[in-house]
Chains A and B, each alone.
Chain A
Amino acid sequence: MPDDELDPVIHAQARLRVVATLAALGEGDRIAFPRLRRLLDMTAGNLSTHLRRLEEADYVMITKTYEGRSPATYVALTPTGRLAFDRYSRRLLDLLGSAR
């Protein structure tokens, strides 16, 4: 990806919402899939699709675990994802700056 282009993995409304939400959590934090789904007000299927795409890019890490007997899925931004989001945010500001 050239330096002056907005990262296409992040630059789509739904995925930007996912990444921006995960980036606003503390570094080293992960969030349960149902909580993330409620925060974003997305359907489970829709969110899963976007998470898969982000996981392929190594931007999010999905952890499947058990809490007692029930399976639980946690989602976290990877360091790569956080870096990509920071670069994306800076690029946005640059674009807006040069548009003025």
Chain B
Amino acid sequence: MDDDEPGTALAPHDALAIIAGQRAVAARTYPSATLLFGLWGTVWLLGYGLLWLTSLDDDTPAVWAAVVAAVATIVAMVTTAWHMVVRTHGIRGRSALQGAMYGWAWFVGFLAQGVIVSALANAGATPVVISLAANAMATMVVGLLYLAGGVLWESYPMYGLGAWVLLTGAFGSFAGIPGSYAVLAFAGGGGMLAAAVVVKVCGPRRA
């Protein structure tokens, strides 16, 4: 039977072990949900946490806190893109197309969020309303896209995280400013970190 590997009869349990081993190897071609949830959870906890802490006195975040949050976001975006490129290098076909479409959905979603926030400012909204709307719409984009990702990759943790971010973000709007920043930092960022742990414990999605 083993015409090209004489003398290496393969026992059924060895064959099963090989299959399990190769599944783990193939998992190197999927993005790591643990890494990405962990990364973005940290950025939200740090970024929105600083915005919250520095706005406790006068409802306005410190400029340095906004700069740190923006830089952390850019670093996370670059890290995410780099991770995707490295992991999915050499993979073509359906999942590459899905991944590209999903990636662009984030870009389009946050572009729309930025435009709407600008329009509200343009229409004379107060700084508090602008900040509140920016936070609420960020959780809306993130929550809906996590829901979509959960559907796309049949991932319960991702779907659950989407629902959690959506609902905590929506109800957290009642906390006003600066309370809404704390909701995004602890419920949003904390939820992503919790999802990172869940995915790590439950293993990669196809394994």
Separation of A29 and B88 alpha carbons in the complex (Å): 11
Chain B interface residue count: which class? 20 to 34
Contact between B18 and A31 (Cβ–Cβ < 8 Å)?
no
Separation of A97 and B206 alpha carbons in the complex (Å): 24
Contact between B27 and A31 (Cβ–Cβ < 8 Å)?
no
Nearest-Cβ distance from residue B48 to partner chain A, whole angstroms: 34
Contact between B93 and A29 (Cβ–Cβ < 8 Å)?
yes
Separation of A92 and B11 alpha carbons in the complex (Å): 9
Contact between B1 and A96 (Cβ–Cβ < 8 Å)?
no
The one of B16, B21, B23, B90 that contacts A31, using a Cβ cutoff of 8 Å:
B90
Residues of A within 8 A of B91 (CB): 25, 29-32, 35
Contact between B92 and A92 (Cβ–Cβ < 8 Å)?
no
Mark A residues whose CB is within 8 Å of B. Answer: 6, 8, 11-14, 16-17, 20-21, 24-32, 34-36, 39-40, 49-50, 53, 74, 76, 89, 92-93, 95-96, 99
Contact between B93 and A28 (Cβ–Cβ < 8 Å)?
yes
Residues of B within 8 A of A28 (CB): 93-95
Contact between A24 and B22 (Cβ–Cβ < 8 Å)?
yes
Separation of A21 and B207 alpha carbons in the complex (Å): 11
B71 at interface, CB cutoff 8 A: no
Instruction: Given contacts A12-B1, A29-B92, list 5 more A-B pairs with CB under 8 A.
Output: A12-B3, A24-B206, A25-B95, A29-B95, A39-B25
Contact between A74 and B19 (Cβ–Cβ < 8 Å)?
no
Nearest-Cβ distance from residue A18 to partner chain B, whole angstroms: 8
Separation of A40 and B5 alpha carbons in the complex (Å): 16
